[in-house]
């Protein structure tokens, strides 16, 4: 009998008896073999693999792997140079399509362990090429900034009309006498910028100016209109002080006008999420984690969020060497920078049954900020789906065990946990910091956030290794056991997802929306 036939026959009977050590030794490659041991190991029959150990699994993660993949992603970003004039992995670019292909190729050698799928969808993307908000007497209105996803409008002079209340309902506009070509002046607050702009257009305004409601802010308010409709108008933001100045101008002159113009575009881009599910583990208890695969147009996005993508790929590769008890789902979201579009689309497509199978979601966005802090989302069960607090405490315990200081940060809507939490799925995660200030030294956490310089030189390798090892620990911990983790409950999920319980986030992705 040929040895291959003998092995096949033996494997089919494996559960009937304990295999002798001499048989197990047959699967160990001799040192003189020219077969690559690393690539061979994931193909070792599943039942011969050891159970994943949360305590030792993080030690499998090595810095050299993170470094190698980071350089791969930077080279991929450079494939966009011809079209964008700089390396980028923004959706629709060669750099992003090649990022998706790269992720898929990494799983090619792991297909005996993972089921790979992609999910296509369309996302809105846009760019403001130029804009003007000027006094009719000459000179630019100070602090003016255009809102992203604003539609274009040819330059015009329009009468400025102050909107009562906050411009969040039809009633705020209905009593106004709106002349053709008027500009709505609206205070920030209560509802998203997009709704204010949409209502202004619906009630006959040609453009809108939104002023900040924070007297202490000296910069003009800016953000995203999020989901423009047929009524949405070109919108520019200004500071609180400038807003008060414009109100005074209207008070002194009922015909007070401004010069307004914007050259911009908004378009739909087709893109894809990539999902990798383990073939083994309880499919009724899914441990989900994600990172976003795209960057902004301005740069290659090695920290934001190439670092999260690299961490997930590295952990997924090493997990394939082990047995697990619960199914693990690795997600690589697209269009996060366009407003969390990919992750929200994914969750929106889940049936109630599939939603309830996901026991938790862990978000990993920006793992290697140069002036890092170890940040943990401060999730409590009182205001988030039950289980979010337990996830937070797991991160706290890990950092504390290894002597790392950590800081708690709020859920503010800036990453892909939003869709999960809003749909009743426990969520949490860690980060190393974006454009905020490091409270330990007073310096910016990532001075290259959303900039061209977010390249390989922008990565802090100590933070990168520690955080990837923590990701490995979190995956192994829950893949091994969910025994002490709160069960999902359909009634709780429905209750949390109801409108009155829904948290209001000021951000959606990196853009302010409220």
* CA distance linking residue 110 with residue 67, whole number of Å: 21
Same domain as 372, residue 498: yes
Q: 20 in a domain, yes or no?
A: no
Q: How confident is the model at residue 491 (pLDDT cuts 50, 70, 90)?
A: confident
Same domain as 100, residue 227: no
Same domain as 169, residue 223: yes
Backbone dihedral angles phi then psi of residue 329, each to the nearest 5 degrees = -120, 115
Q: 43 in a domain, yes or no?
A: no
Q: 26 in a domain, yes or no?
A: no
Indicate if the pLDDT at residue 1 is higher than 60: no
Could you tell me if 287 and 327 are in contact, meaning their C-beta atoms sit under 8 angstroms apart? yes
Q: 18 in a domain, yes or no?
A: no
* CA distance linking residue 292 with residue 269, whole number of Å: 16
Same domain as 371, residue 256: no
Q: 103 in a domain, yes or no?
A: yes
Q: Is 219 annotated as catalytic?
A: no
Looking at residue 506, its pLDDT comes to 84
Same domain as 79, residue 174: no
Closest alpha carbon to 272 in 195, 319, 336, 209: 336
Same domain as 469, residue 372: yes
The residue among 265, 287, 317 that closes a domain is: 265
Domains identified in the chain, total number:
2
> CB 92: neighbour CB atoms within 10 A?
21
Same domain as 325, residue 214: no
Indicate if the pLDDT at residue 481 is higher than 90: yes
Q: How confident is the model at residue 21 (pLDDT cuts 50, 70, 90)?
A: very low
Indicate if the pLDDT at residue 8 is higher than 50: no
Q: How confident is the model at residue 42 (pLDDT cuts 50, 70, 90)?
A: low
The residue among 205, 230, 265 that closes a domain is: 265
The residue among 201, 232, 265 that closes a domain is: 265
- DSSP labels, 125-165: EEEEEEEEEEETTSSBPTT-EEPBTPPPEEEEEEEEEEPST
CATH number of the domain enclosing 203 = 3.50.30.30
Indicate if the pLDDT at residue 298 is higher than 70: yes
Look up the domain containing 504 and give its range: 57-113+279-512
Same domain as 179, residue 94: no
Same domain as 313, residue 184: no
Q: How confident is the model at residue 492 (pLDDT cuts 50, 70, 90)?
A: confident
Indicate if the pLDDT at residue 26 is higher than 50: no
Beta bridge partners of 157: 259
Same domain as 355, residue 251: no
The average pLDDT across 155-179 equals 96
Same domain as 62, residue 189: no
Render pLDDT for 434-445 as a digit per residue (tens, 0 to 9): 999 999 999 999
Q: 46 in a domain, yes or no?
A: no
Q: 12 in a domain, yes or no?
A: no
Q: 38 in a domain, yes or no?
A: no
CATH number of the domain enclosing 63 = 3.40.630.10
Same domain as 482, residue 407: yes
Of 336, 337, 338, 389, the catalytic one is 336
């Amino acid at each position: 009998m040929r040895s291959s036939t003998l092995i096949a026959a033996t494997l089919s009977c494996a559960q009937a008896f304990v295999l002798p050590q001499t048989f197990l030794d047959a699967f160990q490659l001799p040192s003189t073999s020219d077969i690559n041991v690393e690539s061979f190991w994931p193909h070792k029959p599943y039942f011969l693999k050891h159970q994943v150990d949360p305590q030792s699994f993080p030690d499998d993660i090595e810095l050299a792997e993170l470094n190698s993949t980071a350089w791969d992603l930077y080279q991929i970003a450079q494939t966009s140079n011809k079209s964008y004039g700089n390396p980028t992995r923004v959706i629709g670019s060669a750099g992003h399509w090649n990022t998706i292909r790269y992720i898929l190729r990494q799983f090619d050698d792991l297909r005996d362990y993972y089921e790979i799928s992609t999910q296509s969808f369309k996302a809105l993307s846009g760019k403001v090429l130029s804009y003007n908000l000027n006094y009719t007497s000459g000179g630019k209105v100070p602090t003016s900034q255009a809102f992203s996803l604003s539609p274009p409008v040819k330059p015009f002079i329009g009468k400025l009309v102050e909107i009562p209340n906050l411009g969040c309902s039809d009633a705020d506009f209905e009593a106004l006498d709106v002349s053709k070509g008027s500009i709505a002046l609206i205070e920030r607050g209560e509802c998203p910028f997009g709704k204010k702009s949409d209502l202004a257009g619906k009630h006959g305004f040609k453009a809108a100016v939104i002023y900040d409601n924070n007297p202490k802010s000296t910069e003009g308010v800016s953000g995203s209109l999020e989901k423009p409709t047929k009524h949405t108008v070109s919108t520019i933001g200004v500071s609180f002080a400038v807003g008060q100045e414009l109100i005074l101008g209207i008070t002194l002159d009922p015909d007070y006008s401004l010069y307004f113009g914007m050259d911009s575009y908004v378009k739909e881009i087709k893109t894809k999420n990539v999902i990798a599910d383990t073939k083994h583990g309880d499919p009724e208890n899914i441990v989900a984690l994600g990172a976003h695969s795209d960057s902004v147009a301005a740069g290659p996005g090695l920290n934001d969020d190439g670092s999260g993508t690299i961490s997930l790929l590295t952990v997924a590769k090493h997990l394939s060497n082990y047995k697990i008890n619960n199914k693990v789902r690795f997600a690589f979201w697209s269009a996060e920078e366009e407003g969390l579009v990919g992750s929200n689309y994914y969750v929106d497509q889940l049936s109630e049954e599939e939603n309830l199978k996901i026991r938790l979601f862990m978000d990993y966005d920006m793992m290697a900020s140069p002036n890092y802090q170890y940040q943990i989302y401060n999730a409590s069960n009182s205001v988030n789906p039950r289980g979010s607090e337990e996830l937070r405490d797991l991160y706290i315990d890990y950092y504390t065990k290894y002597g790392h200081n950590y800081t708690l940060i709020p859920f503010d809507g800036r990453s892909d946990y939003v869709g999960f939490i809003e749909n009743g799925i426990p969520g949490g995660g860690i980060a190393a910091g974006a454009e905020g200030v490091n409270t330990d030294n007073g310096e910016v956490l990532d001075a290259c956030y959303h900039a061209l310089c977010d390249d390989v030189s922008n990565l802090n390798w100590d933070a990168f290794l520690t955080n990837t090892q923590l990701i490995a620990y979190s995956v192994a911990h829950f893949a091994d056991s969910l025994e002490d983790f709160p069960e999902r409950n359909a009634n709780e999920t429905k209750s949390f997802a109801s409108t009155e319980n829904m948290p209001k986030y000021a951000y959606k992705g990196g853009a302010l929306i409220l």
